[in-house]
Copies of this chain bind each other. A is one copy, B any other.
Amino acid sequence: LLQRETGASGRAVRPPVAADEVSLPDSALPGDVRARLAASGGVREDREARLAHAGGKSYDDLIRRRAGEASAAPDAVLLPATAEAVREVLRICSEAEVAVVPFGGGTSVVGGVEPLRGDFSAVVALDLSGMDELVGVDEESLTATFQPGIRTPRAEQLLSERGLTLGHLPQSYEQASLGGYAATRSAGQASTGHGRIDELIVGLRCQTPAGELVLGRGPASAAGPDLRQLVIGSEGAFGVITEVTMRVRRLPAERRYEGFVLPDFAAGQRVLRRLAQEEALPDVARLSDEGETRVTLAMAGGGRAKSAALGTYLRLRRVAGGCLLILGWEGLPASVAFRRKAARRALTTEHGVSLGRSAGEAWRRGRFSGPYLRDDLLDHGILVETLETATSWGQLPQLHAAVRDALIDALRKDGRAPLVGCHLSHVYPTGASLYFTVLTGAEPGAEIAQWDAAKRAATDAILATGGTLTHHHAVGSVHAPWLAQEIGEVGVEVLRAVKARLVPAGILNPGKLLA
């Protein structure tokens, strides 16, 4: 079906090269620096470690990995076990002028962990996976303090033993780290109800070459600018986050997911806008546009997820042209009941049709499977990538149309348009995010150029139509050239001034955030 729809060749995009066939340059790390680093903690220069830290998870990353292109792999991988070891690494690398790329789960899709060396002769990946402890829990204040390298499943396991949950679930959550969430200003699938990472973080510690930042002395403060919000989203360019204290919740007593169909995308937007402005939002809200039904089906690669998506698809056929809406409520029964009642009222006004709990549960079960399908799609010659933005409710229709058109125009080939789907999945009183998924036949030999042209066109359209450069994927190296359009030249100057003061040698994550 997908081959027919996308015009894909069916032949694998860049059939993977075996790891031992990848040619890897010798490490450029000077021997004396290596020795000093080894004294401060683990240093790996083996092939496996260097390849595993050669990039993130964007389409371009996957293509490079398949092609065996590893010329940019880091010269070494450092594995500090303590904040003191991180400080020591920063001291040594500042003196030796070695670039340092902080590495959490490695799930960046915007080049955030690309081992760029900038003007430096060597680059190391600073892998924080060895710092993965739950430091402490304040059960009265409902906060939990973690080391930065902890993965979400482990954090949730440790919290659930105390009846608590973090509830921050990006699609990358199985691999992504909590420190990485903070560094990249992430949002999860339940952020509509639970809040973005910048709302969940009450305190943090960040090691910079100029010293340690310890921020967050209460639930709120007027003691000058909120410097937590300067570290959150700093993408390892200002320092290395070594501790985060986050708001947690009690495990929900009730959980209910339901599917609905709305007559069109605009009607669905009115439902979500009303719930946001009435402060009766569900925890999860995901409204697909007309195009996403086809993309959803195309993305549903295997097993349970496939059949669930297919079921949803078939039910949708009975209401052709409509838009799928998934709503999920979690919490105390009274809260679920209040918010669900508000949703039913809004849905009735907009002629929504219920698909019942099975559609909601099908989505919930399959919601993390997307990333696992990407290699399968590549094996069948299909380009698959996503991008996202956010804007005000008033501007949303123009933004949606402009990005969709830009992607279709850029990827149209031989008269065949790509499949472009979109959903609205993070809802605020003043606006919402839009998340686009693109599927089309990959251009053999020119895969990266093909996607990069589409990405440039879409990003230009986003900024021309009042959208933000990124709602939750961060800046990395991919978005850095557009940052001045988002925050202005003066805004970029502010970030440069902060970096110059905190990282005098400039070693931290060159080329990320700041181009």
A391 on the B face (CB < 8 A): yes
Is the pair B502, A470 in contact by a Cβ cutoff of 8 Å?
no
Q: Would you give the shortest CB distance from A401 to chain B, in whole angstroms? A: 16
Residues of B close to A222: CB separation below 8 A: 184-187, 233, 470-475
Residues of B close to A432: CB separation below 8 A: 219
A320 on the B face (CB < 8 A): no
Is the pair B495, A497 in contact by a Cβ cutoff of 8 Å?
no
Is the pair B501, A279 in contact by a Cβ cutoff of 8 Å?
no
Residues of B close to A496: CB separation below 8 A: 501
Residue interface mask A71-93, B partner, CB < 8 A = 1: 00000000000000000000000
Bound together, the chains give a CA A501 to CA B497 distance in angstroms of: 6
A212 on the B face (CB < 8 A): yes
The contact of A229 among B230, B277, B493, by CB within 8 Å, is B230
If A230-B494, A338-B334 touch, whether A475 touches B223 (CB-CB below 8 Å) is yes
The contact of A143 among B218, B430, B495, by CB within 8 Å, is B430
Determine the residue in chain B with the shortest Cβ distance to A341: B334
- The stretch among A121-129, A134-142, A150-158, A414-422 that forms the contact with chain B is A134-142
Residues of B close to A479: CB separation below 8 A: 223
Is the pair B513, A502 in contact by a Cβ cutoff of 8 Å?
no
Bound together, the chains give a CA A487 to CA B222 distance in angstroms of: 12
Q: Would you give the shortest CB distance from A363 to chain B, in whole angstroms? A: 23
Residues of B close to A132: CB separation below 8 A: none
Is the pair B491, A215 in contact by a Cβ cutoff of 8 Å?
yes
Using C-beta atoms within 8 Å of the partner chain, give the interface range for chain A. 35 or more
Bound together, the chains give a CA A150 to CA B340 distance in angstroms of: 39
Bound together, the chains give a CA A331 to CA B277 distance in angstroms of: 11
A445 on the B face (CB < 8 A): no
Bound together, the chains give a CA A342 to CA B233 distance in angstroms of: 36
A214 on the B face (CB < 8 A): yes
A431 on the B face (CB < 8 A): yes
If A212-B488, A226-B198, A335-B280 touch, whether A390 touches B221 (CB-CB below 8 Å) is yes
Chain A contacts with B in 462-490, Cβ cutoff 8 A: 466-475, 479, 483, 486-490
Is the pair B493, A210 in contact by a Cβ cutoff of 8 Å?
yes
Is the pair A490, B208 in contact by a Cβ cutoff of 8 Å?
yes
A202 on the B face (CB < 8 A): yes
A225 on the B face (CB < 8 A): yes
Bound together, the chains give a CA A212 to CA B249 distance in angstroms of: 40
A4 on the B face (CB < 8 A): no
Bound together, the chains give a CA A142 to CA B334 distance in angstroms of: 28
Residues of B close to A66: CB separation below 8 A: none
Q: Would you give the shortest CB distance from A196 to chain B, in whole angstroms? A: 6
Is the pair A224, B494 in contact by a Cβ cutoff of 8 Å?
no
Bound together, the chains give a CA A230 to CA B225 distance in angstroms of: 5
Residues of B close to A208: CB separation below 8 A: 490
If A278-B335, A471-B220, A497-B498 touch, whether A229 touches B226 (CB-CB below 8 Å) is yes
A263 on the B face (CB < 8 A): no
A211 on the B face (CB < 8 A): yes
Bound together, the chains give a CA A164 to CA B232 distance in angstroms of: 33
A60 on the B face (CB < 8 A): no
A-B contact pairs, 14 of them (CB 8 A): A143-B392, A184-B222, A185-B222, A213-B488, A218-B390, A218-B466, A220-B428, A221-B469, A222-B233, A222-B473, A223-B233, A225-B229, A226-B232, A334-B338
The 4 closest A-B pairs by CB, nearest first: A497-B501, A219-B428, A229-B229, A219-B431
Can you add 6 more A-B contacts, CB < 8 Å, to A213-B490, A223-B475, A227-B230? A212-B490, A217-B469, A223-B483, A224-B234, A225-B231, A278-B335
